[in-house]
Structure 1
Amino acid sequence: MSRIRPYVRGTRLATAGVAATAAGLLAATLTPSAGAAGAHRPTRAEAIENAAGALADRAAELDLTSAQETKVRDVIVDADGTQHVRYDRTYRQLPVLGGDFVVHLAKDGTYRSATRAAGGSVAPAGGITPALPAARATDLALNALRAANLGEALRQLTAKPRLVVDALHGGPRLAWRTEAVARDGRGNPVGRTVLTDARTGAQIDAWDTLETVGGDGKSLYSGTVPLNTTKSGSAYELKDPARGGTYTGDAAHRTDLCLLVTICITRAPATVFTDADNHWDTGAAVDAQYGTDMTWDYFKEVHGRTGIAGDGKGSFNRVHYGTRYNNAFWDDSCFCMTYGDGDGTTFGPLVSLDVAGHEMTHGVTSKTAALTYSGESGGLNEATSDIFGTLVEFHAGNPSDPGDYMIGEKIVRDAFGRDALRYLDKPSKDGSSADCWTSRTASLDVHYSSGVGNHFAYLLAEGSAPNSPTCDGSSVTGIGRTKLGAIWYRALTVYMTSSTNYAGARTATLNAAKDLYGAGSPEYAAVGAAWEAVNVG
């Protein structure tokens, strides 16, 4: 899992790698039935114990061997007691990209089916001894980082490769996963993850892990907002005890110093903001805390998820990061959000409500489906953040920033040339995003391939209209934002895996609609129609 989830990135290096197809699915879909009144609902621990028994009984079916180890990543227990336990996998202690899978259990704990990121054995041909030296993998990754940042005078370049088994891009093979990082001319961090064949040296895939994007450092986009704070002596801290201790701190224009993307020698500070009278006037800090609050509330009130990881623990925010830093990003390694002040010309401060919802959703995705950040799965990763960022904005109901189907409309400045970063109703309005799926979708930058998922989401919620025409000329009737969110959340947390592509997303959302509303329901039909309308059939 990459360290950073940036909001907007530069052009990704073109690759031939395409995420594994939905052929990795095992067995049939889940159709839970209503539990008897007062029936016992299994605990997380019981679900894990039941799933462990299923793994032991069905090891051969799931291609599990004594050379592999599994680790629970997430657990979902439905209201009727149906259980879904998500696993990551290693092979001879090497992480397996595409080795993740979800075990689905009936309410009595018996095995029903499994959803797998990749089917078949995960044992790489030729064993786990690389032919390509680690030093060469490092050089190739640094060259890829330079190529992705042409025109920048990079310094402090560092990289360290790690052996993995890649089961995402065809048959399993030994690979080096290298996290390369550097500083640009302003001292801000840039980074790239490069996946290299450990036998041939060929680049399998590459994606950004950190880059720039926009803002200056003032404003309250959402007007005067309520804040829960913590009394500390005679002052108040911008820390919310009701939301897992979530707080906002001052990075003081410093940046992280990292040898690797996941190993940092020093981090920019996050000195919690304080105020004497609890009437805050700290600009970006207020917006950041409010965005965190509203995202927490959305996932808890709508989906029953308490906190980004679902464990009740709060994250934290850093504002005023770097020098004129045009970016906002979610960082798995610190479980935190970071916001730059930007340059004031292209973007304003990146602390708007939909940006917060977008970035924090990357944290939810990393704790659930962990959609790989390249190819079609990368587009789905970005679309997931755009969809829930939009739903967070609608759910907040703030009159100063009312809900809409644009992303980043508050942070974009006139010099950017348009009034938002992305548009869900017609993604191509940004000049680059795809309205419709084609065979080239996987080769697009993930922020542009996300358009297919965004367009699907708009059609499912609102239906087709002159401002949102379908790709096949059909007419789609929307089912509303609430049902869109319910279907996408269940698909993400129960059926999607790291390799899910658009065809797999169609299957996942249909399964989710069947679980929630029934196979013969108007909602199920609408999901199918909306995917057909964006050429995913």
Structure 2
Amino acid sequence: MVNKYSVAALLLLGGFSSAYAQSQDLTRVQHKEVGEKGMPTLIQFRLEGKTYQMSEARKALAEQLDLTADDQLQSARIEADPLGFVHEKFAQYYKGVKVEHAEYTVHARQGVVESMSGNFERVQNVKTAPTINEQAALQRALRFVGGKKYMWEDAGEEATLKEQENNPRASYKPEGELVIVDNTQAEPGSPEFGQPTLAWKFNIYSQQPVSRAYIYVDAQTGDIVAKDAIIKHAAATGTFATRYSGTKTSATESINGSFRLRELTRGSGIETYNCNKGNSYTTAVDFTDADNSWTEYANANFDNAALDAHYGAQSTYDYFKNVHARNSYNNAGAKIKSYVHFDDTPGDGKGYENAYWNGSVMTYGDGYTRFDPLTSLDVAAHEIGHAVCSSTANLTYSYESGALNEGFSDIWGAAVEYYKDPNKATWLIGEDIDKVRPSLRSMSNPNAESQPDTYKGTYWYATSGDNGGVHTNSGVLNHWFYRLAVGGSGTNDIGSSFSVTGIGIDAAAKIAYRTESVYLTASSNYAAARTYSIQSATDLYGAGSAQVIATTNAWYAVGVGAAYSSGGGTTTPTYCTSKGTNVAYEWIDYVKLGTLARTSGADGGYYNGTALSAPSIGAGTSQTISFSAGFASTAYTEYWKVYIDYNQDGDFIDSGESVVSGSSSSSGTLSATFTVPSTAKSGNTRMRVLMSDASATTSCNSYSYGETEDYTVSISGGAALTSNAVTTSSTSSNATLGSADLVSQVEVYPNPAADVLRVTLPNRASVVSVQVADMQGRSVKGTHFDSKGELNVARLASGMYMLSVSDGQKTFRQRFVKQ
């Protein structure tokens, strides 16, 4: 049997949740959303009574995030928006080391803090002193990239960079920065995946083959633990005969009796250059025309594609400036440079089949078998959209955050195309350039191009390729935006019947832009996008508005969260993620409550049964819930927890909402009885059943082994609450598993242990025999158990072991870790 555990898997489970709850100042909180790691992603404050002032931003962060002496939040920037909000963004540090992709923002209006949002990482037990130096780490990173030639090895490109940045010391050569980053290069489901890691960060730009990304190297082991792609794969007026958008007028520059594709009226300028089928920006030249009537560019060299690139850059600048009051992609008038006729391997007779933003400039290939030159209007807007993202949310280019990154670029591709030419196929991306398919992607029907239109539905990409499926899973965000703008009804892939009243592309785009530019952070996922888009719609149009309703229902249409609830004019809560990452050994195979009775196999660590018929449970009544575990072979001890959101506020942390707690190694049906408090809110709410092999697992965890299942229950005869407070009766306290099924456990501590493990049997019974085995079941020698109840484990190698202790009648088993 493969070793099911690692030391890291146990050491990083952490029991900080209770301490966190004890020190928070909850008296000011109106509403809170909690993310998949159990930390708040959005905190809304009461605006009456005791409030935080903007000058107290640091105090608010310290109290609400329960900062320890090891945590620091450093002010990064302050921005104001047209709605009168001031947003102060803070970057997170742990023991003075920057935590990548973690930042929190305080949102205030008229000096009063109204909310806070972002991603705060609870980092614990991470060593901040590297054992591998910067140069050794860089060599590991370069071997991982495998470039044949790097940009800093090209003297011309180095000289151009120094000139562009007006800095004689500027260089593409990477310099290492020590940061803490989640390990996303490990295989999903492994103990290492997602774990905070001290790493060297390098910005590596390969010229051949073309790639640019932040590469993160474990500062202790030298392993590559993360990759964040920077290149994302994708004063006169002239008359342009563009390749894809017909005849247009566009700004140019008059110089020496000729005209070139440059202009200075938009920000710091927009410039378009000719790479002449080469891969050098330094040797690129201007496109020129004698009479400023660019009609002869429809030639065999596809030179008219340059006109589309120039027109596309200007159109995208105009859209963000006129619609969203944004001055270029960085909101500071940055120059937009485009390079056309780029070829990563000059002379091979094949055009480059890609377009990308490289972190500084736009780059367009001429295509070959699949594409015509990749300079269509929506592609140009898509790529510049990546630049907007890098200056706002800076969404990490992997898994769900990467899918959001791609999806927002498609949104801007559609929005800019509609802004400039509503007669184009707004909801198709790349329809002008694709020679093989009708388009690269369809926002109205993602399935037509093998993308999902429902979260984890048909075509959902669930492996590590393509940076975790960023170009595939973006279909969910695309379809959300389409539904928000256009509306529609139907049944999605998970069986939810939806109906959305469209609000038009202009209003939808304003909500999307505020979501990306104000609320999202680098590590945001789909759940966060839902939370923050609803908040954005509320900011723009007011609580309970048609736009808020449509935003919520559009997410429901694509399988993210519940539909809008009219009760009290508030939205249905978004629940945190809880999921086991490995079900190879154990899973939930039966759940029964009232009329609900479901038998199943492993569901991949999580099952969403909220669409099933909801059993009715009356306020003040006693209820019995039954459940059981399925095991692949060995029946391990499992920790069972059942939660019910009695006050329907979107979490399970209120008093009395943990209704069952206990452990068992039985594969038979277990049962527990609980009482529904009389103050529980009437109506449908969520019940969460969680089985994990780790006692520290809470209602909001991505944990190692086990499974979570969510269901809807209907509470009758309860209170019609108008606040989030629930006062529970004494009969609603946590239930334990029925005594016939509960297997008492041997207590071992400390666990992990360095030298000595103390062993105590239930009821302090005498120990008759002790055996230690490795996780393959092989007996291990070298331990000694004494009369004090102490097991000497000093001679054991570090790792996971199984302890078997007998009182002469019954044998108890418990895992422990030797440090």
Q: TM-score range by the shorter chain?
A: 0.7 to 0.9
- The structure 1 residue matched to 2:443, chosen from 413, 424, 428, is 424
User: What's the counterpart of residue 406 of structure 1?
Assistant: 428
User: What's the counterpart of residue 261 of structure 2?
Assistant: 238
Separation of aligned partners in 1, 2:101 and 2:43? 20
Separation of aligned partners in 1, 2:293 and 2:444? 38
Q: In structure 2, what residue type is equivalent to 1:84?
A: H
- C-alpha contact 2:213 2:229 (8 A) present in aligned 1: yes
- Measured after TM superposition, the shift of residue 100 of structure 1 is 2.0
- C-alpha contact 2:230 2:358 (8 A) present in aligned 1: no
Alignment of 1:21-32 (within 5 A): 21=36, 23-25=38-40, 28-29=43-44
- Measured after TM superposition, the shift of residue 383 of structure 1 is 0.4
Alignment of 1:427-466 (within 5 A): 427-431=446-450, 433-438=451-456, 443=463, 444-464=468-488
Q: Which has the higher contact order (CA 8 A, sep 6+)?
A: 1
Q: In structure 1, what residue type is equivalent to 2:291?
A: D
Q: In structure 1, what residue type is equivalent to 2:115?
A: S
Q: In structure 1, what residue type is equivalent to 2:118?
A: R
Alignment of 1:93-492 (within 5 A): 94-107=97-110, 109-120=111-122, 125-132=125-132, 134=134, 137-138=137-138, 141-142=141-142, 144-145=144-145, 155-156=148-149, 162-166=177-181, 170=194, 172-179=196-203, 182=206, 187-191=208-212, 193-201=214-222, 203-206=224-227, 208-210=229-231, 220-244=243-267, 245-256=269-280, 267-280=281-294, 281=297, 282-322=303-343, 323=346, 324-332=351-359, 334=360, 336-343=361-368, 345-397=369-421, 402-414=424-436, 418-431=437-450, 433-438=451-456, 443=463, 444-464=468-488, 472-492=496-516
Separation of aligned partners in 1, 2:196 and 2:86? 29
- C-alpha contact 1:228 1:240 (8 A) present in aligned 2: yes
User: What's the counterpart of residue 618 of structure 2?
Assistant: none
Q: Report Cα offsets for 1:119-174 as digits up to 9, x if no partner.
A: 44x5x63432223455664565456446xxxxxxx633799654321158756431
- The 1:518/1:138 distance shift into structure 2, 3 A limit, reads same
User: What's the counterpart of residue 602 of structure 2?
Assistant: none
- SS for the counterpart of 2:312 is helix
Alignment of 1:19-98 (within 5 A): 21=36, 23-25=38-40, 28-29=43-44, 53-58=55-60, 60-61=62-63, 63=67, 68=72, 70=74, 72-73=76-77, 75-79=79-83, 81-89=84-92, 94-98=97-101
Higher strand share: 2
- The 1:309/1:223 distance shift into structure 2, 3 A limit, reads same
- C-alpha contact 2:313 2:381 (8 A) present in aligned 1: yes
Separation of aligned partners in 2, 1:31 and 1:511? 15
- C-alpha contact 1:193 1:207 (8 A) present in aligned 2: yes
- The 1:66/1:155 distance shift into structure 2, 3 A limit, reads same
- SS for the counterpart of 1:253 is strand
- Measured after TM superposition, the shift of residue 55 of structure 1 is 4.2
- Measured after TM superposition, the shift of residue 497 of structure 1 is 0.8
- C-alpha contact 2:41 2:119 (8 A) present in aligned 1: no
- Measured after TM superposition, the shift of residue 405 of structure 1 is 0.7
Separation of aligned partners in 2, 1:77 and 1:289? 29
Structure 1 residues not aligned, in runs of 5+: 1-15, 33-49, 147-153, 257-266
- C-alpha contact 2:232 2:357 (8 A) present in aligned 1: no
Separation of aligned partners in 1, 2:284 and 2:76? 31
- SS for the counterpart of 2:340 is strand
Q: In structure 1, what residue type is equivalent to 2:81?
A: V
- SS for the counterpart of 1:525 is helix
- SS for the counterpart of 2:178 is strand
- The 1:24/1:242 distance shift into structure 2, 3 A limit, reads farther
- SS for the counterpart of 2:226 is strand
Separation of aligned partners in 1, 2:46 and 2:485? 23
- C-alpha contact 2:490 2:497 (8 A) present in aligned 1: no
Normalised TM-score (structure 1): 0.77
- Measured after TM superposition, the shift of residue 478 of structure 1 is 1.7
User: What's the counterpart of residue 11 of structure 1?
Assistant: none
- Measured after TM superposition, the shift of residue 427 of structure 1 is 1.4
- The 1:492/1:192 distance shift into structure 2, 3 A limit, reads closer
- The 1:480/1:126 distance shift into structure 2, 3 A limit, reads closer
- C-alpha contact 1:88 1:101 (8 A) present in aligned 2: yes
- SS for the counterpart of 2:250 is coil
Separation of aligned partners in 2, 1:135 and 1:311? 35
Q: In structure 2, what residue type is equivalent to 1:100?
A: E
State the number of aligned residues: 464
Q: In structure 2, what residue type is equivalent to 1:325?
A: Y
Q: In structure 1, what residue type is equivalent to 2:325?
A: G
Separation of aligned partners in 2, 1:230 and 1:114? 46
Q: Report Cα offsets for 1:73-117 as digits up to 9, x if no partner.
A: 5623233x221233445557754312222221122x233332122
Separation of aligned partners in 1, 2:70 and 2:38? 25
- The 1:229/1:175 distance shift into structure 2, 3 A limit, reads same
- Measured after TM superposition, the shift of residue 520 of structure 1 is 1.1
- C-alpha contact 2:198 2:219 (8 A) present in aligned 1: yes
Separation of aligned partners in 2, 1:27 and 1:352? 38
| RMSD over aligned Cα atoms | 3.4
- C-alpha contact 1:380 1:453 (8 A) present in aligned 2: yes
Separation of aligned partners in 1, 2:435 and 2:249? 27
- Measured after TM superposition, the shift of residue 313 of structure 1 is 3.3
- The 1:66/1:233 distance shift into structure 2, 3 A limit, reads farther
Q: In structure 1, what residue type is equivalent to 2:289?
A: D
Higher helix share: 1
Q: Report Cα offsets for 1:42-99 as digits up to 9, x if no partner.
A: xxxxxxxx96x444444634549798573535623233x2212334455577543122
- C-alpha contact 2:73 2:90 (8 A) present in aligned 1: no
- Measured after TM superposition, the shift of residue 407 of structure 1 is 0.8
For the pair shown, which has the larger CA radius of gyration, 1 or 2?
Answer: 2
Q: Report Cα offsets for 1:472-519 as digits up to 9, x if no partner.
A: 232322221111101111111111111110000000011011111222
Which moved further from structure 2: 479-488 or 196-205?
196-205
- The structure 2 residue matched to 1:523, chosen from 547, 554, 579, is 547
Alignment of 1:492-503 (within 5 A): 492-503=516-527
Q: Report Cα offsets for 1:281-317 as digits up to 9, x if no partner.
A: 3412211110011111111121111211112333111
Sequence identity percentage = 35
Normalised TM-score (structure 2): 0.52
- Measured after TM superposition, the shift of residue 201 of structure 1 is 4.7
Separation of aligned partners in 1, 2:478 and 2:371? 22
- The 1:127/1:521 distance shift into structure 2, 3 A limit, reads same
